[in-house]
Structure 1
Amino acid sequence: MDDRETLMMTPGPTALPEEVREAMARPIQNPDIEPAFSEFYGDFLGKLARVYGTDDDLVVLAGEGMVGLEASVASLIEPGDTVLCLANGIYGAGFGDLVSLHGGEPVLHEVSPTEGFDPEAVREAVEEHEPDVATMVHCETPTGVLNDFDGVLDVFDEAGVLTICDAVSSLGGVEVPTESIDICLGASQKCFSAPPGLATLSVSEAAWERIEAIEQRSFYLNLEPWRDLGFEDPPAAFPYTHSVSDLYALDAALDRLLDEGIGTVFERHARAAAHCRERGRDLGLEPFASEHSSPTVTAFAVENADTLRERVATEGVVLATGLGEFSESVLRVGHMGYNAEIGRVDRAMDALEAVLD
């Protein structure tokens, strides 16, 4: 192992740019008292909206991405509601567990982990089960699969089905159809390249109407108090004390994305992904799902993934294995956010080549 700093090339958390780390160290303001923080927060939400590409309201919750997933389910779903859960991976299926936990009736629409979703098959499922809400995952990170939901979202829109989409591992690295999604979820530690600790949500007017109409069943995970905070004097009335330092860090990360330009950021991710897969093929490795691979993470089909991960770590690079049934058959390189850069990909693949040799 050389004397360079260890390179973390996992699919979240990512390495942090220096200015993001510095922003987190700023002296904090009191969000409940100081008007200056309200001004900062209003500007911050404006930046986040530009990255999301949406005019919908935005909510930022303290906690990593799972907080946003559960808050969405807790706020939209009443006991007895039918929820269609699109699943071609562990996180898509996991939505069903959250739905059950909050009293809903999950119906799993499952396809192979290497396949996408057929809009006509989804339409048949909607006609058969008449769901109130549908859940889906844009990027199934454990297998590196990016799902195309354009046609699927049209089906749900025509049927009046509200949608929750986990875009935690894609938002900020690839285009997400946020304007067609009722609640779109992101997280600070993925393509934003900020520290873990914040979940981000865009919430449509239709979603707000449902949230406000159903009986509250959760205190901390209820989204309703986050609507119409107001940023004029006196300071914004946050439901709870916000994670100020995490917000400073994410604000700096958003500045980086916007300064580069969102279109340019997407192109950079695409180049990094293509280069990673080219290097992998030179080593005899193929992506787990070659036809649906995400620009933010490459999941290579391997044997003994955990042993490979440990050996790569001795070269000063941290990679990740798959999860669940793919924990030993998938090795993942996260080229998202700050790590979507050819030099970083090359260092990771050089380390992998060294241990394979």
Structure 2
Amino acid sequence: MVEDRDELLMTPGPTAVPPEVREAMSRAPVNPDVQAEFSPFYRDVLEKTARVYDTDDDVLVLSGEGMLGLEASVASLVEPGEEVLCLANGIFGEGFADFVEMHGGEAVVHDAPPESGFDPEAVKSVVADHDFAAATMVHCETPTGVLNDLGEILALLRDAGVLTIVDAVSSPGGTAVPTDDIDVCLGASQKCLSSPPGLTTLSVSDRAWEKVEATEQDTFYTSLAPWRDVDLPDDEPPHLPYTHAVSNLYALDASLDRLLEEGLASAYDRHESVAEQCRERGRDLGLDPFADSTALCSPTVTAFRTEGRASDLQRRLETDHGVVVATGLGELEDDVLRVGHMGYNADAERVERTMDALADVLD
């Protein structure tokens, strides 16, 4: 529920942070390098994160905004000269190719239209023509509000022996993710978890760990290898690669408690409901979702087609109504207006206030 009529942050990450999460972050931090009490706390955070990911794979929480996970996954699994398939129907899908090239790999980009998903048969054909070490893709392309159905593609890549790296940053906690079919599944604190920016969350399969161990690591901070055997004894300080972001972890812990208390099924239903509410209000205002079909529309963010008006609408929403939304990115910057309804903001009253303000601005 909206507590007051002050500024309403409805961007698709960073999201608004609930009061209890902000309060948790303000706790006096322990020293994770010398105080034994940090070990069971951190282990508990990892266990809760695994429950949200719905996986038995290893789960890591790293100090660094979600982009750290995208680069670290490539840096850790890709050796110079190895071919990597980069599935792209948006900016973040394309961005994986930059990381691959940066770390010496050979990126093979398979493009799909930004308003639609991938054709599994087309992907299968590309895979047959190459010897890919890994494949990268995005679950929810936040800049366009497109939720990619990856099930069939993940299956064919697994059958071909190709490791899969998935940017699911805008998904965990807001919609189901096929985590156990993914070798490295990437998330972040500032999206559906409604925690402040600063932490990367990810799951790592046994196959991925084997590849990490077989790959020469030419970096430390962006390598997953130092986290492979982190020791978290009950009565001793942990042995971590570097000092963790304790206050951010306190906030994440509170966010995870909030989500798990609600229940994942309930949270998914809540996101679907407010997403439909947002789209319907938009259509009533003459605004169509960017995605080709409702099936491709993300339950965590709605991107409306605005035909060159996005920046002006964004400015007037904030100036006249105190509602902060986002525009598109890149070539679509002024043609897409994005309403984030993820995590704490997956709330009918917040969406209604946002769309009422948009109606007034359009009028």
Equivalenced residue count is 355
Deviations 1:242-265 (A, max 9, x none): 000000000100000000000000
Per the normalisation by structure 2, the TM-score is: 0.97
Partners of 1:305 and 1:216 in 2: CA distance = 43
Partners of 2:220 and 2:64 in 1: CA distance = 15
Corresponding residue to 1:298 among 278, 299, 302: 302
Deviations 1:186-244 (A, max 9, x none): 00000000000001110001100110111111121111110121211332200000000
Partners of 1:30 and 1:325 in 2: CA distance = 45
Aligned residue for 2:191?
Answer: 190
Deviations 1:103-146 (A, max 9, x none): 00000010101121121211111110121100000000010000
Contact 2:65 2:200 in 1 (8 A): yes
Partners of 1:298 and 1:332 in 2: CA distance = 6
1:86: Cα distance to partner?
0.3
Q: What is the correspondence of 1:87-236 to structure 2 with a 5 Å cutoff?
A: 87-232=88-233, 233-236=235-238
Partners of 2:167 and 2:283 in 1: CA distance = 30
Aligned residue for 1:83?
Answer: 84
Q: What is the correspondence of 1:61-72 to structure 2 with a 5 Å cutoff?
A: 61-72=62-73
Q: Any stretches of 5+ residues in structure 1 without a counterpart?
A: none
Contact 2:231 2:240 in 1 (8 A): no
Deviations 1:31-87 (A, max 9, x none): 111111101011111100000000111111111111110010100000001000000
Aligned residue for 2:286?
Answer: 284
- Cα RMSD (Å) of the superposition? 0.9
1:343 aligned partner, one-letter code:
E
Q: Structure 1 residues 290, 272: CA separation in 2 closer, same or farther (over 3 Å shift)?
A: farther
Partners of 2:56 and 2:119 in 1: CA distance = 28
Partners of 1:317 and 1:343 in 2: CA distance = 13
Aligned residue for 1:318?
Answer: 324
Contact 2:288 2:305 in 1 (8 A): yes
Q: Does 1:243 align with 2:245?
A: yes
Contact 2:37 2:236 in 1 (8 A): no
Partners of 2:106 and 2:34 in 1: CA distance = 42
Q: Any stretches of 5+ residues in structure 2 without a counterpart?
A: none
Counterpart secondary structure, 1:309: helix
177-186 vs 55-64, greater mean Cα deviation = 55-64
Q: Does 1:349 align with 2:350?
A: no
**Runs of 4+ residues over 2 Å off in structure 1:** none
1:290: Cα distance to partner?
4.1
Give the % identical residues. 64
Aligned residue for 1:74?
Answer: 75
Counterpart secondary structure, 1:332: strand
2:349 aligned partner, one-letter code:
G
1:185: Cα distance to partner?
0.3
Partners of 2:113 and 2:219 in 1: CA distance = 34
